[in-house]
């Protein structure tokens, strides 16, 4: 009847402590025990330890003994979002407690990519709308000087203009191909500056 991996509830105070820790991690550093005590109004470090033990036992965090500030969140960590595939029957609260399917925001970047090889570009205009890329979208680009036909690339045109287009090839010559039947292909000279790896759109 008892399962270890069941979703254990937190008391109001435990949640308050957890939220403070989350905030601190988000803003910069995990707090020290005494910082937590001070924030929560506790007079003793022992009290904080009791809370950390409780949160740890309930699977919300992990600590690497002895190391200062070594609080690691396990559930609802910063930069992680539960990924739901299907919503189980009769569960009004969704299945989001599921620790397995967490979408890491870092996953958006190509794995192992050097920070210096990535940049973001605001999409202007509707020339790629048939590829599902809309005006205002943010395009994450990995820098590279070459690309393959069919790739969506960021290209630099003559006058400092950057544009996102399919890389096309016709009679051995590369050109820029929009994904919008109202737009014409661009045969002007251009430089490949990178390849599209991610599209982000905020509503």
What's the min distance (Å) between Cβ of 70 and its own copies?
6
What's the min distance (Å) between Cβ of 176 and DNA?
42
The mark string for 46-85 relative to DNA (x by CB under 7 A, - otherwise) is xx-xxx--x--------x-xxxxxx---------------
Copy the structure tokens of residue 157: 């045109």
Query: How many other CB atoms are there within 10 angstroms of residue 15's CB atom?
Result: 13
112's CB contacts (< 8 A; 6+ apart) are: none
b/e map 90-111, b = 16+ CB within 10 Å: eeeeeebebeeebeeeeeebee
Provide Rg for the chain, Cα atoms.
24
Q: Pick the catalytic residue from 16, 27, 80, 165.
A: 165
Is 19 among the residues that bind DNA (CB under 7 A)?
A: no
Residue among 54 and 95 whose Cβ is closer to its own copies: 95
Is 1 among the residues that bind DNA (CB under 7 A)?
A: no
When binding is defined by CB under 8 A, the residue of 81, 149, 185, 189 that contacts its own copies is 81
Rounded to 5 degrees, what are φ and ψ at 141?
-115, 135
Q: What is the DSSP string of 35-75?
A: HHHHHHT-S-HHHHHHHHHHHHHTTSEEE-TT-TT-EEE-S
Q: How far apart are CA 58 and CA 60, in angstroms?
A: 6
Let me know if 165 is a catalytic residue. yes
Q: Segment 120-159, which members bind its own copies (CB under 8 A)?
A: 120-122, 129, 132-134, 137-138, 140, 143, 152, 156, 159
**H/E run at residue 143:** strand 138-143
Residue 183 touches which of its own copies, DNA, none (CB < 5 to 8 A by kind)?
none
Q: Which residues are annotated as catalytic?
A: 127, 165
Q: What is the binding site for its own copies (CB under 8 A)?
A: 22, 26, 28-30, 32, 64, 67-70, 72, 76, 78-79, 81-89, 94, 96, 103, 105-106, 108-109, 115-116, 118-122, 129, 132-134, 137-138, 140, 143, 152, 156, 159-162, 193, 195-203
Q: What is the binding site for DNA (CB under 7 A)?
A: 11-14, 32-35, 37, 41-47, 49-51, 54, 63, 65-70
């Amino acid at each position: 009847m008892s399962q270890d991996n069941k979703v254990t509830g937190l008391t109001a105070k435990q949640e308050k402590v957890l939220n403070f820790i989350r905030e601190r991690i988000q803003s910069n550093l995990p707090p020290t025990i005494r910082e937590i005590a001070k924030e929560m109004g506790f007079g003793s470090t022992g009290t904080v330890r009791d809370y950390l033990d409780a949160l740890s036992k309930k699977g919300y965090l992990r600590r690497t003994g002895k190391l200062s500030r070594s609080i690691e969140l396990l559930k609802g960590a910063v930069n992680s979002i539960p990924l739901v595939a299907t919503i189980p029957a009769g569960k009004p609260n969704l299945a989001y407690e599921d620790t397995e399917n967490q979408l890491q925001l870092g996953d958006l970047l190509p794995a192992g990519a050097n920070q210096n090889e990535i940049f973001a570009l605001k999409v202007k205009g509707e020339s790629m709308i048939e590829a599902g890329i809309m005006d205002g979208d943010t395009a994450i680009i990995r820098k590279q000087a070459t690309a393959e036909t069919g790739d969506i690339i960021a290209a630099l045109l003559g006058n400092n203009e950057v544009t996102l287009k399919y890389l096309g090839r016709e009679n051995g010559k590369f050109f820029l191909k929009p994904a919008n039947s109202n737009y014409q292909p661009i045969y002007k000279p251009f430089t490949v500056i990178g390849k599209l790896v991610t599209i982000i759109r905020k509503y």
